[in-house]
């Protein structure tokens, strides 16, 4: 069964450094998403991406965040200057249409020191 | 603020019994609802989607939707120890929107 893949599985970064999280969505899917889950808390929406542009973003997704689809398969989340509170699991998801189930990758555990 | 609410549990059910998980949502315009299972330290795994009022069955799982009461539930029949996990209810708040709004999850433990 096709799946969303994310790399790395764990990223440890010093506060203030830039980090890029990578995702390969399911190949025939057109909608891509990033979510995060701080330990013990809800899964929170960050951003959705369609047709090479952001279609929706949350209040969490401020100027330090950006997303990109640099080629036909990868979808990346960049955090420009990481803060301690950015420590969380970051999940990439994809879906083939709006309002349809979103399939999640295994996540990247981001630890900011 | 568009919210999805769940009882965080823990909910403890004996093996072989029916587990009943409940969820309410605040946005009356919500159209699409999903149940995900999340094992500790893992990602959400889709179990069921439901879009219309009534019941939808898939194997041991039944999702129920009542839009008038803004209520979604998940029944797990013949519960197995491997069903022990946190169950996340999620909704897409308005037609054409894309984000999932998640509840805080209900932790379910199946006791052998």
Asked whether the beta carbons of residue B99 and residue A58 sit closer than 8 angstroms, the reply is yes
Span B1-24, mean pLDDT?
A: 92
pLDDT greater than 90 at residue B95: no
Q: Which helix (H) or strand (E) holds A23?
A: strand A19-24
Residue from B78, B98, B74 nearest B86 by CA: B74
Q: Residues B77-88: pLDDT tens digits?
A: 999 999 999 999
Residue from A96, A91, A3, A23 nearest B102 by CA: A91
pLDDT band at B97 (very low <50, low <70, confident <90, very high): confident
pLDDT < 70 regions, chain A: none
- Give every CB contact of residue B107 below 8 A, 6+ residues apart in sequence: B8, B9, B10, B11, B85, B86
Q: Residues A25-35: pLDDT tens digits?
A: 999 999 999 99
Inter-residue contact B25 to B4 (CB < 8 Å): yes
**A94 neighbourhood in chain B, CB within 8 Å:** none
Interface of A with B (CB under 8 A): 31, 33, 35, 41-45, 48, 50, 55-56, 58, 89, 91, 93, 98-107
């Amino acid at each position: 069964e096709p799946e969303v893949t994310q790399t790395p599985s764990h990223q440890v970064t010093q506060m203030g450094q830039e980090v890029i999280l990578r995702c390969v969505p399911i190949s025939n899917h057109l909608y891509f998403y990033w979510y995060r889950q701080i330990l013990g808390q809800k899964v929170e929406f960050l951003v959705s991406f369609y047709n090479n542009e952001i279609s929706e973003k949350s209040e969490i997704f401020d100027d330090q965040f950006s997303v990109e689809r640099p080629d036909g398969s990868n979808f990346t989340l960049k955090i420009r200057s990481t803060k301690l509170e950015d420590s969380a699991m970051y999940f990439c998801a994809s879906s083939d249409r709006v309002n349809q189930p979103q399939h999640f990758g295994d996540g990247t555990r981001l630890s900011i020191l | 603020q568009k919210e999805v609410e769940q009882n965080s549990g823990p909910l403890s059910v004996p093996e072989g019994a029916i587990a009943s998980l409940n969820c309410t949502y605040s946005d009356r315009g919500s159209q699409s609802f999903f149940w995900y299972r999340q094992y500790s330290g893992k990602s959400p795994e889709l179990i069921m989607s439901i879009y219309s009022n009534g019941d939808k069955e898939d194997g041991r799982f039944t999702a129920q939707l009542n839009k008038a009461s803004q209520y979604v539930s998940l029944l797990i029949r013949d519960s197995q120890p491997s069903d022990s996990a946190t169950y996340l209810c999620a909704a897409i708040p308005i037609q054409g929107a894309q984000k999932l709004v998640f509840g805080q999850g209900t932790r379910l433990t199946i006791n052998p």
